[in-house]
Amino acid sequence: MKIFSFKNAKYGKVEFCTFNSTVDKNKPLLIFIHGSGNEPTFSYAKDIKMYAWKGFTEVAKYKDKFHIIFVNKPGVPLFDTVQKDPVNFSTSYPISKEFTDNYSLEWRAETASLIIDKAIKLLPVNRSKIMVVGHSQGGQVAPKVAVLNKKVTHCVLLNSNSLNHLYDFVLQERLDAFKGEKTFEESQKNIDSLFANYKRIFDEPTSRTKYFDEETYYRWASFSDETPLENMLKLKIPIYVVAGGKDVYGSFIMNTDYVQIEFLRYGKTNLTYKVYPNANHFLQDEINENNKTKYIDLKPKIFADIVDWSSQ
């Protein structure tokens, strides 16, 4: 990997990297923005000697076709060591004050836009195709980046909401009631509690000391300033949205679906919306066979389709 870093007066240290392979070749740019959390983009669990990558390794197959860019988060380096639980293999990384104070839609989108500008100066980029791809929370960021940076030519959202992400919790409660996992009264009580929490968030939208669902009010309020749909509707460039029909607790499919209605309502033709009916949040089909769940990786097809779409 070739690593770049720069200091910004407002956003602090910003890092990005790309593959060394054919780095001197003139080729399009693909910036990949991964999902939520405070862990490094690339990490190493020293105790079990295991490397991990936040994002999809599938994109590495296209390193000779694109300058593939990976980004950091505030106060979180691109590469670092993490602790891994030997029982459940969950990882942990210390949360810094810089992360808590700055983690927001603004930080992620603005720095990604700055990274695009830096990459164009430092690498031989074919500016006819500059694609921003985001997964999960990164999908909330991607259309904002495209709004900020007019050099972006294509925008891709993978398993991301289109409406406010807080709506997912409400939808999940309703679904649980319809599935019989709780009573409708229990569901409504939980939803009323959610609304009370949301009011507290929006009453103190800059609080870095108060939390909802283990995230600061500031983080929740920031990602509520603009919905992905609002930013997508501002764009005239081609947009590709991928959703999983079985994605409930990542980015709820019932939230994502709304994007198609609004683009139809406004007569906009720059959206390609593709739903994989049996796919989960991580672009895998979940198929029931003999009372067992079988996982089929869809990423090879999905990324091949994205690359083909970007060439149309």
What pLDDT, in 10s, does the model give residues 113-146? Answer: 999 999 999 999 999 999 999 999 999 999 999 9
Please report the pLDDT score of residue 92 as a whole number. 76
Other beta carbons less than 10 A from residue 118's beta carbon: 17
Name the nearest CA neighbour of 69 among 168, 187, 151: 151
294 has which bridge partners? 287
| Residues in CB range of 235: below 8 A, 6 or more apart | 143, 146, 147, 155, 270
Q: What would the two tokens of residue 13 be?
A: 């240290």
SS3 content of the chain, % helix, strand, coil (to 5): 35, 30, 35
What DSSP letter does each residue of 157-222 carry, written as one string?
Answer: EES--SS-TTHHHHHHHHHHHHTTSS-HHHHHHHHHHHHHHHHHHHHSTT-SS-EETTEEHHHHHH
Please report the pLDDT score of residue 29 as a whole number. 98
Please report the pLDDT score of residue 57 as a whole number. 87
Please report the pLDDT score of residue 87 as a whole number. 64
Q: What is the pLDDT along the chain (312 residues), one digit of tens a residue?
A: 899 999 999 999 999 999 998 899 999 999 999 999 998 999 887 777 777 777 788 999 999 999 999 999 999 999 998 876 666 666 678 899 999 999 999 999 999 999 999 999 999 999 999 999 999 999 999 999 999 999 999 999 999 999 999 999 999 999 999 999 999 999 999 999 999 999 999 999 999 999 999 999 999 999 999 999 999 999 999 999 999 999 999 899 999 999 999 999 999 999 999 999 999 999 999 999 988 999 999 999 999 999 999 999
Q: What would the two tokens of residue 191 be?
A: 């939803």
Is the Cβ–Cβ distance between 152 and 130 less than 8 Å? yes
Place of tokens 């796919």: 279
Other beta carbons less than 10 A from residue 139's beta carbon: 28
CA separation for the pair 209, 17 (Å, rounded): 32
Please report the pLDDT score of residue 85 as a whole number. 67
Is the Cβ–Cβ distance between 147 and 234 less than 8 Å? yes
Please report the pLDDT score of residue 88 as a whole number. 64
Query: What single letter denotes the amino acid at residue 19?
Result: F
3-state class (DSSP) for residue 85: coil
Evaluate the CA torsion angle 68, 74, 77, 82 in order and state its sign. Answer: negative
Is the Cβ–Cβ distance between 253 and 244 less than 8 Å? yes
Query: What single letter denotes the amino acid at residue 296?
Result: I
CA separation for the pair 161, 105 (Å, rounded): 14
Q: Where in the chain is the domain with CATH 3.40.50.1820?
A: 2-164+225-310
Please report the pLDDT score of residue 49 as a whole number. 72
Please report the pLDDT score of residue 86 as a whole number. 62
What DSSP letter does each residue of 109-148 carry, written as one string?
Answer: HHHHHHHHHHHHHHS-EEEEEEEEEEETHHHHHHHHHHHH
Which CATH number describes the domain made up of 2-164+225-310?
3.40.50.1820
